Copies of this chain bind each other. A is one copy, B any other.
Amino acid sequence: MKNKLKVLRAEHDYTQDQLAKAVEVSRQTINAIEKGKFDPSLVLAIKLARLFKTDIEAIFIYEDQPS
């Protein structure tokens, strides 16, 4: 899963720490998600989408791979 967090954060002029506080997670969680270490929980994805006034799927790009 790819994501546009870093760009959105830059556009809104937030530091990782400020964003973390805004959505109530640790700074390391924001960093790890930006770096693609893991995907956010649904709740966190919703909070981020609301904060940036966009859709979850505009931030988190998931491409289904044929199983």
Contact = CB atoms under 8 A, between A and B. Distances in A.
A49 B47 CA distance: 18
Interface residues of A, number: 19
A45 interface: yes
A11 to B, nearest CB: 21
Interface string A33-67: 00000011111011101100001110010101001
Contacts of A47: 64
A67 B25 CA distance: 12
9 contacts: A1-B43, A24-B67, A39-B41, A39-B43, A41-B42, A42-B42, A42-B45, A42-B56, A46-B62
A57 B46 contact: yes
